[in-house]
Amino acid sequence: MSAATPVLTGLMQHDVPLTIGSLLRRMRTVNATSEVVGYGATGSTRATFLEVAERADRLGGALRALGVAEGDRVATLAWNAQEHLEAYVAIPSLGAVLHTVNLRMTPDQMTYVINHGAARILIVHRSLLPLLEAVADGLETLEHLVLVGPGPEPGDALARFTQHDYEEALAAATPIAAWPDVDDRAGAALCYTSGTTGNPKGVLYSHRSSVLHAMAAGMADTLAVTSGDRVLPIVPMFHANAWGLPYAAALVGASLVFVGHDMSPATISGAIAAERVTIAAGVPTIWMDLLRYAQEHDVDVSSLRFAPCGGAAVPRALFEGFEQTLGAEIVHAWGMTETSPLGAVARVPDDVTGEERWSLKLSQGRIAPMVEARLIDDDGAEVPWDGESSGELQVRGPWIASGYYLDEQASADAIDDGWLRTGDIATIDERGYLRLTDRAKDIIKSGGEWISSVELEGELLAHPAVAEAAVVAAPHERWTERPLACVVLAPGAEVTPAELRTFLAGRVAKWWVPEFFTFIDEVPKTSVGKFDKKVLRARLADGDLDVAVCEEAIATA
Ligand code: ADP
């Protein structure tokens, strides 16, 4: 006699949706006493997670009263602050999508991303109104501004938008008593990343991917965020969700410390010392500045367990300086906006010491759990994980983008049979440690944000004295990379770097304007006539380029 087949369905685990709403519930229950600190040298603000959750209930009520429905995007233009955290949890919990606008984008890019995201409502810190005023005329979908914090009131350029004060809106709101059930595969947050050419591209994070990413950030082999931690995300909340740290903190109950717009080493070290910060995360530029500052000032970062650092390669001198001068450890990590961003973290097993330890610390990290990686060579073939063969890094996984928001062309270009093409050239060793060796994407990363070489070249060419221009990344101690303009002069023409800087300053963001110039006879080309920037980079590395450094303030035209 054969036994009846047992029915197993229904005996398994509860299929709970993995939503930002579940993080909000954690904030008002298990993690109620964790706190959010807005650090200021002259006075700090403080709130418990319970207070934040209750204010999020009010923000949700206020947004609903303004007509926010499921799937709508609600934008933010803000620094790292308690109100931004409230938006982080309230907007997705309504079933709407939090669209964090990167305030470092150029006015054209900002106009594009606000229109493309198509939010009707923007939560904006008053100190950032000048940025908004500069793009106001081009905004097509925006109707309401919710104004946060101290600062000037909106000028005439913003008069056509209905204006609300954040605190007044919260005070007047009916708090949400029962948040809606939200599908965990729906969009929760939207973040744009600028590409080599063309418009910025939107990465839409689902609830499920954000919660899984928050869980991953709590793993000991990655960012190891725990309930006992006090986390200072220096990476901005408009950049890849501050590397997912706010959601990780909400999930595990780590307290959060914010420094707002002030990322000076004095403020950062002051916040770490006063608030006994245990994890502080930022790009190498931030830590280089702090290290330099610590050489001349008394700095106490003894509370730090470690400092995750990524977005650009961390030089050995920075790791060593941190350990020797500050007694603190930097942990190297690799990721992209498209990867939420946790992709790889360079944790070194305790029994690995000496040069081998350095070798692993300097790598971009071990491929994170749940992330799959492969390396593809120029012929489309997969190369082995032997620590030597290199290829383009491709990744996939539950928090890795499978395309760009409403952008078929960019999605088709970026996705290879379900794998995300990262544009990074890398090797991977037998244990899964990743090492970036080059970059296929033609772009410059300065202080953690992108500068488009193609756009700079176009603007340089607009100058009558310039016949050809190629812009490549020059290594830079403070900013990691700065643009080097390689200029071919038009026959008989003359122009100085200072004149080109003045010319560019009117056409691109000030921080994009190169300090480094070299005048060359021609731009090296590949067999198909494309600029061969590898050759220029090699000549720069070999000291074969005559580079003029021009750092004086830009004269106004
Ligand atoms: P983020 O700055 O948060 O890493 P972006 O999407 O702005 O995210 O940039 C991602 C790119 O930055 C990567 O594709 C890679 O080129 C570069 N990058 C990120 N982390 C590192 C790292 N640890 N070392 C070198 N380059 C890195």
Pocket perturbation via mutation, ligand 1, pick of 318, 334, 452 by most ligand atoms within 8 A of CB: 334
Q: Is the beta carbon of 332 within 6 A of some atom in ligand 1?
A: yes
**pTM exceeds 0.75, yes or no:** yes
Told to judge if 445 belongs to the known catalytic residues of this protein, a careful annotator would answer yes
- As a whole number of angstroms, the distance between CA 38 and CA 40 comes to 7
Name which residue leads in pLDDT, 527 or 476. Answer: 476
What digits encode the pLDDT tens for the residues 142-162? 999 999 999 999 999 999 999
Instruction: Give the pLDDT mean for 69-98.
Output: 98
Atom of ligand 1 nearest to the CA of 333: 23
Catalytic pick among 76, 106, 111, 193: 193
* 3-class secondary-structure state, position 351: coil
CA-closest candidate to residue 454, choices 473, 436, 435: 473
pLDDT digits (tens, 9 = 90+) for 242-267: 999 999 999 999 999 999 999 999 99
Q: Which two tokens stand for residue 468?
A: 């050809």
Q: What pLDDT does residue 557 have?
A: 47
* C-beta separation of 346 from 332 below 8 A: yes
- Ligand 1 pocket, residue 341 CB under 6 Å: yes
Structure tokens at 385: 């994980």
Token digits for 136?
A: 């106001």
Q: What is the mean pLDDT of residues 469-479?
A: 93
Calculate how far, in angstroms, residue 129's C-alpha sits from the geometric centre of ligand 1.
29
pLDDT at 358: 96
What is the rounded end-to-end Cα distance, in angstroms, of the chain?
95
H or E stretch including 203?
A: strand 201-206
Crossing angle of helices 82-93 and 49-65, rounded to 10°? 60
Determine how many CB atoms are found less than 10 A away from the CB of residue 521.
7
Residue 287 falls in the annotated catalytic set: no
Q: Quickly state the pLDDT bin for 1 (edges 50, 70, 90).
A: very low
Q: Evaluate: CB of 422 within 6 angstroms of ligand 1.
A: yes
> Does residue 555 register a pLDDT over 60?
yes
- In sequence order, the β-bridge partners of residue 281 are 233
Integer angstrom CA distances of residue 161 from 137, 140, 506? 11, 11, 28
Write the CB contacts of 281 (distance below 8 Å, at least 6 apart in sequence): 223, 231, 232, 233, 234, 235, 242, 243, 245, 307, 308, 309
pLDDT value at residue 202: 98
What 3-state class would DSSP assign to 365? strand
pLDDT (mean) for 472-493: 94
- pLDDT score of 9 more than 80: no
Higher pLDDT, 420 or 528: 420
Superfamily of domain 444-549: ANL, C-terminal domain (3.30.300.30)
Catalytically annotated residue among 35, 83, 275, 338: 338
> What per-residue confidence (pLDDT) applies to 531?
85
Q: What is the pLDDT of residues 313-352, one digit of tens each?
A: 998 999 999 999 999 999 999 999 999 999 999 999 999 9
Return the best residue to mutate from 238, 424, 451 for the ligand 1 pocket (most ligand atoms within 8 A of CB): 424
pLDDT confidence tier of residue 10, bands split at 50, 70 and 90 = low
Where do the structural domains in the chain lie, given as residue ranges? 24-332, 444-549
Q: Which residues contact 497 (CB under 8 A, 6 or more apart)?
A: 485, 517, 548, 550
pLDDT at 415 over 90: yes
Mean residue pLDDT across the chain = 94
Average pLDDT for residues 169-187, to the nearest whole number?
Answer: 98
Q: Which atom of ligand 1 is nearest to the CA of 309?
A: 23
101 has which bridge partners? none
Ligand 1 closest atom vs CA 439: 16
Nearest CA to ligand 1 atom 16: 424
Ligand 1 centroid to Cα of residue 263, in Å, is 20
Write the pLDDT tens digit of every residue in 255-314: 999 999 999 999 999 999 999 999 999 999 999 999 999 999 999 999 999 999 999 999
pLDDT of residue 421: 97
Q: In one letter, which amino acid is 433? A: Y
User: Which class for 108: exposed (0-12), middle (13-18), buried (19 or more C-beta within 10 A)?
Assistant: middle
Q: What is the pLDDT of residues 132-143, one digit of tens each?
A: 999 999 999 999
With H, G, I as helix, E, B as strand and everything else as coil, classify residue 304. coil
Q: Is the peptide bond before 246 cis (omega within 30 degrees of 0)?
A: no
Instruction: Indicate the burial class of 557 (C-beta count within 10 angstroms; 0-12, 13-18, 19 or more).
Output: exposed
Query: From CA 533, how far away is CA 486, in angstroms rounded?
Result: 10
pLDDT digits (tens, 9 = 90+) for 495-553: 999 999 999 998 998 999 999 999 999 999 877 777 888 899 999 999 999 999 998 77
Q: What whole-number distance in Å separates Cα of residue 282 and Cα of residue 235?
A: 5
Tell me the one-letter amino acid at 342. Answer: L
CATH number of 24-332: 3.40.50.12780
Nearest 5°: CA angle at 413, between 409 and 418? 110
> Quick check: 197 pLDDT over 90?
no
Is 468 annotated in the active site?
no
pLDDT tens column, 14-50? 889 999 999 999 999 999 999 999 999 899 999 999 9
C-beta of 318 in contact with ligand 1 (< 6 A):
no
What value does the mean pLDDT take over residues 422-431? 96
**Sign of the four-CA dihedral 333, 336, 337, 342:** negative
